[in-house]
Chain A
């Protein structure tokens, strides 16, 4: 089982390195979270400010997609290695999901 991914044989050094790496990762998570909160606030403000719906709808959808990307790739760690199969199947699921939603927006009522 390959758990120790650094080259050093000194466990103490490995440990310190990993602690530092985890802490660094956590800082990125917090930054991500800040951005997500920001996007959410912007979305709500855009709707509350009563802009044209031709601007608001694409804009808030874009923010939602970016936010979900953050959730998946940072909070759920999909950007890290060892997530090849999860990515494949999530993207396949997203493809089917997209086709389904598209169909229901176009060929349900006419």
Chain B
């Protein structure tokens, strides 16, 4: 990447990324933007832990604390974890199925820019009169009462980035259904592709309820509607239901791709076929299905009644079964394998006990009567950080190390990586394990301070020290990225030497058309099969011919920018600003105008000619971008 940048100049590189529709470059954009949001969410977390380090602390005010905890949750879920996973899906999934790009490259770029502008809009709230402060769940009774524009930033920002995510989901689904290489049957797809598929389906069905409810919240706050206003006949429970009808599948949208990444890592570094592949697929689909049937377990204390609580409790416990299948399959994949403890493998191995701990507390909370004790305490905070950090963030860190060479053509330092792991792993358990007990002792979540002498002092201090350890781990990772990029030692196709799937058979980073000839897939772990027969390349499924590629486009950026502008109009309309409605209309006009432009102007893409592909061979560059 950096060599190209030097050749082409900085401005043209920027322009290239603003207009790119290449899934590999969009993956890098997701990684950068998601990474920045991850750091911001991390800083917010550090401030929370600093405030709670000692009793009666006044490091931040109560109001600022509410904003910090809201933005920490919202940022980490919507703007860090999900985009980073979408980044890996973009980087890896098309390569794993032997495709030259995703089904809709233009929509792919549009999805990224919508996410980016939505996230930018949300974070501008810090500078424009205060961030949202009603928690990431933004329950309507609280969020309608919140003064200022914080909640408006939340609603509009998430709406815009939500559209982007929805498009990404549809795009991946179509890609996986329509664009698999010859021989790549469904039951030969790598597990990361499978989890991408199921997570995308969850996105498709979980985001519309969020879209609907955010519209309602926006209408209530900005246009005088009364959906959640009890005095006008509204009902505040409606928001809670919609939020969790979305929110519960959302956590599976996060964890399933994480499972996928770990499945790849386990089989690669155990140098064994994934144990129980078909049961893994089955468990993934089942988790996806059950994910829609359990949302009310977040609402046990709302008072839905014993019948509803019992149904949702049982459904929730049922999810432990497919998850258990997965855990045992991973253990049996490692069992008897020729294990190599690389950095990704360290995360994977650490993930199993950490995630199981989070799963066990999840089952505890599924018991509805017991949940009345845990509800809104630090026990819940400990639980979801165990599954999200111990599951998703570990997977993200593992994935960064694992796929870095494929994305950038150079390896992250294993030595620094191991230090990162040690700090992060210790810090994680130090921070969150003690929170279980703080919660059981009655410490409520989302409260900005606590009193001394209630047995909470030591636990909170330990927790804050742990957070510092995690921060050191992340800083080491950043250092690693810088050092690696400066050194820039190029690596070959299969830098881990044990790659099993198609992406490891092509250069790192891959040429922009990915596969010169589409590969013929002859079984699960297609590249491994070839290697076992002593070959180093894939069996081609077609002769070398012209390759059709899409044109780059600046339109996705403009469409997203239009919505970004319109959001300001919608928001300041509340203050009776004369310019608000024109800005709203102008922004929408930009968006729809750009869409019409896209629709009217023909774009047939271009062809890479056979002869040019042959030339590449002669020069033996492999990489051309």
Contacts and interface: CB of A to CB of B under 8 A. Distances in A.
Nearest to B204: A89
Contacts of A106: 308
Contact of B235 (A93, A96, A108): A108
B292 A104 contact: no
Interface in A94-110: 95-96, 99-100, 103-104, 106-110
Interface in A54-110: 85, 89, 92-93, 95-96, 99-100, 103-104, 106-110
Contacts of B245: 100, 103
A104 B213 CA distance: 13
A85 B204 CA distance: 14
B292 A107 contact: no
Interface size class of B (residues with CB under 8 A): 10 to 19
A104 B296 CA distance: 12
A95 B235 CA distance: 24
Given A89-B204, A92-B205, A107-B308, A99 B293 contact: yes
A108 B237 contact: yes
B230 to A, nearest CB: 12
B62 interface: no
Contacts of A109: 235
A107 B238 contact: no
DSSP class of B's interface residues: helix, strand, loop or mixed? helix
B177 interface: yes
A100 to B, nearest CB: 6
A96 B292 contact: yes
Contacts of B492: none
A56 B194 CA distance: 46
Contacts of A89: 173, 201, 204
Contacts of B235: 108-109
B238 A108 contact: yes
B9 to A, nearest CB: 43
A105 B205 CA distance: 20
Q: Quick one: which of A104, A106, A107, A109 has the most chain B CB within 10 A?
A: A107
B290 to A, nearest CB: 12
Contacts of B304: 107, 110
B202 to A, nearest CB: 10
A99 B292 contact: yes
A107 B296 contact: yes
B598 interface: no
A85 B186 CA distance: 13
Contacts of B241: 103-104, 107-108
A63 to B, nearest CB: 26
A77 B425 CA distance: 54
Contacts of B204: 89, 93
Interface in B269-301: 292-293, 296
A82 B13 CA distance: 42
Contact of A85 (B177, B209, B238, B308): B177
Contacts of B543: none
Contacts of B296: 103, 107
Interface of B: 173, 177, 201, 204-205, 209, 235, 237-238, 241, 245, 292-293, 296, 303-305, 308
Given A108-B237, A110-B303, 9 more contacts: A89-B201, A89-B204, A93-B204, A93-B205, A96-B205, A96-B292, A100-B209, A108-B238, A109-B235
28 contacts: A85-B177, A89-B173, A89-B204, A92-B201, A93-B205, A95-B292, A96-B205, A96-B292, A99-B292, A99-B293, A103-B241, A103-B245, A103-B296, A104-B238, A104-B241, A107-B237, A107-B241, A107-B296, A107-B304, A107-B305, A107-B308, A108-B235, A108-B238, A108-B241, A109-B235, A110-B303, A110-B304, A110-B305
A-B pairs with the 6 shortest C-beta distances?
A107-B304, A96-B205, A107-B308, A85-B177, A96-B292, A108-B237
